[in-house]
Every structure is written in C-alpha cells, then in structure tokens.
Chains A and B, each alone.
Chain A
C-alpha cells in the first residue's frame, strides 16, 4: 500500500473533506497533476475541472472552480471557491456556471476592448467550463 498524506478540501463556506489520501489529481491551471505523498512543495492555481481523490478505502471526485492548491510536506490543501461532489452536480448547475462564465467573457470584451489579456482569460475559463461539462456528460449548449 502506498504512503498516504493528509488531504483537505475547503471552500469559503465550509470544509468539505479532510482525511488521508494516497493520491490526488488536481486540475491545475497549467495542466492536470497528480500528487502523491512526499511531493515537492508546490502552489498551483486551479482551472475548472474535476478533482479526484484516492483514499485508501474509496475514491471521491469533486467539481472545483477557482482557487488554488497548496502542496507541502504536511499534505495537500485545496482551496476552491466552489466545490461540489461530482455526484451532486447537475446539468442545471453546470449550465448556470457556463452562463456565468459566458457573461464574464462578454463583460471582459466590453470592458477591455483594446487589451487581449483579460478577454483571453475569460474565454479560457469558459472553454474550460464547457470542456468539463462535456467530460462529465452534462454539457450544455
């Protein structure tokens, strides 16, 4: 059996999960990464995606958006602005989030007419959301 590490998932409203985990797959901003015990200390931002936690007895998946993960010698802490267990995620939630991202993109387009930076960021966020939805089979048009 592989070594375990401490895993915490917290959102601003409450702490969602805390316990030992053998590996955690994090949807990092630069790509997915899997963290196992004794990983090098890292801080990464999250993109919308699925967080997979493998504990010795069970595997759980969460949908997370916005936030960051802190990997240290003590374990992994994921701080997500919104985190929902994958099973509790419905198509309505998904389309709501996509609509929000789309509105943010339109806002950014209007506000930063001559600056591509924020517009691209918003576009990427939207694309990530849609991709995540499709991946889960509850994508919205």
Chain B
C-alpha cells in the first residue's frame, strides 16, 4: 500500500506543475495575440511588395539582364538551408516538425549529390540538427536577446545570407519555418528565397504600363535584396505566432493531463486513508471482543 504521506506529496507536486503549465499557457496566449497582430500588420507591406516584384520580375525576368538573385547562378549544386526555430522549448512538436522537414530535405539533396550548407536561426533547431548534420553548419544566428522580432533582425539575417551569396558560397537558398494556421495547426514550410520566385498575378500585364524611375533593372536590383529581407521577416513573424500557438496547445494538454493525474491520485489517496481507518476499527473491535 502506498504511503499516505508519499501520496499527499505527489498530489501537491502535480498541483504545482499544473499551476505552472496553466500560467505558461496564459502567457503564451497573450504572446500569441501580440505575435498575430505583428504578423497582421506586416501583411500589407508583404502583399504589395510581392505584387510589385511579381510584375517587375515578369517583365524583366525574360531578358538576359536579370540579376542573379532572380535568375539564379545557373546551377543548383550548393544549397543553403536556413532553418528557423525557436529559442525555447516546451512548445510541443513545433521545433521537431520544422527540423524533421529540414532533415528530409537535406537528406534528399545529399542523395542527389548536392552540397548542403546549413544556417540555423534559433537555439532549438541548432541543437536538433547538430546531431546529424553538424559538419554542414556554416553559421548560427542567436535570437535569445530578441524580445520582439523587428525588421532589423530580419535585415541582419538577410545581410548574412546575401554576403554569402555574393561571395559565391551557394546557389540556392531555402528557408524553413512553420506557417501559422491556427492554434493547433502549424505547417512546417520550405520556401525558396534565392533565386527569388514571386507568384505572378494575373494582372501582371498591367505592370508593363508603369513608368519606372530609374530603370526597371535598377529598381529590381535595388529591391531584390530587400525582398530577401521581407521574406525572412514574414517567416520570422509566422514562426513567432506558430511557436506561441504550439506552446499554448502543448501547455493546455499538460494542464489537462495534470488535472487527470490529480483526480486519480486523490481517489487513490482517499482509498488508502479509508483502508487505514477500517483497519484501525477492525483492530479495536477485535480487541474489544477478545476481552
């Protein structure tokens, strides 16, 4: 029979755990709202940016003078993977899902005989990727100090990526992050950022009507690096919202599990207490009978 004292201690400790997970869930919910707001506010910029870029890319892309960021280097032998994950754990399968996707991608590329280079953003992804692909790492961006993701953070990462591209270190860059669907669903996504691909809208023909100042090529050359930063920024924001959403549902589950456990333990505790009382009564009665 389990010791009464032990059971009681167990119940208290699970109750404390439940308090913590509950608090974490509420914090994640508040942060999620903020992250969603941030993602919402960046959307007008991204949509318009991509619309203009789509038009520009469609009209310039055909000609031979397209910048390398758009047309590519002509080969895809060296692939850079930018794996974006969170800095903290306790968020369910969030990091694991992104890393799983990235690992599959890396393995496929390796099997195809390509050279893979990996740049990680966020500590958790680095730790998980290191086991299998530690020798492929070219860098890591630490976001521990970043409280709120700003555009400058994205610019920093973009600059890092672009410098490597200019130095000819890779041909194709792909970012890995989780797209926020809702609190329970986050979709791990791979998006190619270099060479850039823009969804060409059906009104692309209309873009040809614009006057360009300076030339189309010059604008494109100026905007493509910004496009990389914009893509990274929106990925960071999506990731932020996804992380909080994943943490929220993970902590919700944990809270519920703790509740169930407390119920079970309480029943067990009451039972053993009753058993002790019954036992004592039997002893007293049989003692009295013996007299």
Contact = CB atoms under 8 A, between A and B. Distances in A.
A7 interface: no
Interface in B205-233: 209-214, 218-219, 222-223, 226, 229-230, 233
Contact of B223 (A10, A11, A30, A45): A45
A38 B256 CA distance: 61
A28 B213 contact: yes
A111 B42 CA distance: 32
Given A30-B214, A45-B218, A68-B223, A15 B44 contact: yes
Contacts, number: 78
A70 B48 contact: yes
28 contacts: A8-B44, A10-B45, A10-B48, A11-B45, A11-B151, A12-B45, A12-B151, A12-B229, A12-B230, A13-B151, A14-B41, A15-B41, A29-B222, A30-B213, A42-B212, A43-B212, A43-B213, A43-B219, A44-B212, A44-B213, A44-B214, A45-B213, A45-B223, A70-B52, A72-B210, A79-B52, A81-B155, A82-B151
A67 B214 contact: no
A40 interface: yes
A13 B41 contact: yes
B286 to A, nearest CB: 80
A66 interface: yes
Tell me the dominant secondary structure on chain B's binding face: helix
Contacts of B212: 42-44
A81 B44 CA distance: 13
Given A10-B45, A13-B41, A15-B44, A68 B219 contact: yes
Contacts of B230: 12
A79 B49 contact: yes
Interface of B: 38, 41-42, 44-46, 48-49, 52, 56, 150-151, 154-155, 166, 209-214, 218-219, 222-223, 226, 229-230, 233
Interface of A: 8, 10-15, 28-30, 33, 40-45, 66-68, 70, 72, 77, 79, 81-82, 111
B151 A45 contact: no
Nearest to B166: A111
B210 A66 contact: no
Given A12-B151, A30-B214, A43-B213, 12 more contacts: A11-B151, A12-B230, A13-B150, A15-B41, A41-B209, A42-B210, A42-B212, A43-B211, A44-B219, A45-B222, A67-B226, A77-B48
Contacts of A15: 41, 44-45
A22 to B, nearest CB: 21
A67 to B, nearest CB: 7
B48 A45 contact: no
Contacts of A14: 41-42
B226 A81 contact: yes
Contacts of B45: 10-12, 15, 79
B153 to A, nearest CB: 11
